[in-house]
Amino acid sequence: MSKYDLIVIGSGPGGYIAAEYAAKQGLHTLIIESDNFGGVCLNKGCIPTKTLLKSSKVLEYLVEANKYGIEGLSKEGISLNWPKIQERKNNVVKQLQNGIGGLLKSAKVEVIKGIATVLSNNTVSVNDTIIEFDKLIVATGSTPRKFTNIPGFEQGYASGKLITSDEALVLSEIPKKLTVIGGGVIGVEFATLYAGLGSQVTILQGVDRILEVLDNDISKEITSLLQKENVNIITNINLVEFKDNNVVYTINGETKVDDADVVLVSVGRVPTSDCVKQIGVNLEKNGSIITNEHMQTNFENIYAIGDCTSRIMLAHTAHKNALVAVDHILNKPNKYEPLKVPSCIYTHPEVASIGYTEEQLIEKNIPYYKGKTPMTHIGKALADGESKGFLKLLVGKEYGEILGCHIVASTASDIISEIALAMELEATIYDLTNTIHPHPTISEIVWETAKKILTDNFKDKKWFKN
């Protein structure tokens, strides 16, 4: 019977990082993967959606070329080759799949393709073979959540009229009318994508605003920007049924019928944890694997990382979880701090956020100062024709520590890394203000906002620390 120091189940963004890191630290490591390398993020999430969104953005540039003094292009003269757009997406995914395979091979990680089942706290079964381990990391990801308890929805999925984000990536054609049920991150990204490609898009949201878990200023800004792109946003709805190939819902007591060509149900994701159920690993009611701060389960030699734990379901969260778990196995210090996890949404312009929202600070009665700078104040944004959005920075009143940052900007997903590093290093408003930002850049908005907060609110303190 084969035995490994570490077995990793799943080669998503957490799994392959854990396996590569562990192997390079000297652990005899095996990774078990049931499908393609890369997990949800690479195959059905982050990468394919961003590749398609880039085509949508290029189309936007072409349509607005006249604004930049480039004439001779007209919207009527531009056509979309959807199969070619899909082909480019597939090529990008394939290249990255091969890259992960190369990383694992160079690290001397052994790979088995198959479905793993954990039999005990030191054995797994795959392809009718039992394999022993000293340590195990479960990185099995998640799947799209479906509504199955609403009348007619199961039939809607079967007919292909109701789809999840998986199917939204491989549609045979761009729908003329697309309805998105759910105004969270995934739903808003797909609304941006297909609206940009010419679909008539409607978002049906069950609460009073889209992106409801983010700072309210971001929700308001993205709502306004989507509406300007003719996305119809309907909030506070209640789903009733799927009938006669249409979604039926109520709003303010009135029954409405949505007649879209395709309906994307985007209402979160469900953790995948079947492989550990039979040995008694502790699970939450939703099936997520319960872990401690070291990513350990109730079995001290079995760890879980990424989406299957229902911690923040982001690829880079899984990356961090992977390092925390392997470092614990190696007796090295590391920790996961949810408040320091940045999140990004790839709308046009992008959204990025980290730390507390302003609403959370008010709720928790944490004293703070805030600064908010519109992108129209930034020279590079105006030069680029990308002046939509803002940056909002939240800092502690006494010491100026960074409590949160919320950005809507063309490069928000890049800018947020500066704030993440600052928070990791426990930097303050003084440090941000005294960091030289190159001019002209979009990232200058960080310096502009920090400087304003400091000069307006910390008048009795020096800019430079001794």
SS3 82: helix
Provide long-range contacts, Cβ within 8 A and 24+ apart, for 23-27.
23/104, 23/107, 23/108, 23/109, 24/107, 25/326, 25/330, 27/135, 27/326, 27/329, 27/330
Q: Which run of H or of E encompasses 364?
A: helix 358-364
* Residue from 251, 201, 204 nearest 226 by CA: 201
Supply the Cα-derived Rg of the chain in whole angstroms.
24
Residues 462, 444: Cα–Cα separation, whole Å: 21
Quote the tokens at residue 317: 């969260």
Which phi and psi (to 5°) does residue 427 adopt?
A: -70, 165
The owner of tokens 């979880």 is 321
> Per the residue annotation, which of 294, 328, 377, 439 is the catalytic one?
439
Sign of CA dihedral 168, 171, 174, 178: negative
Across-strand partners of 407? 352, 391
Which phi and psi (to 5°) does residue 378 adopt?
A: -105, 120
User: Which conformational region is residue 394 in: left (phi greater than 0), alpha (psi within -120 to 50 degrees), or beta?
Assistant: beta
Quote the tokens at residue 55: 């085509």
Is-catalytic flag, 439?
A: yes
**Residues with catalytic annotation?**
439
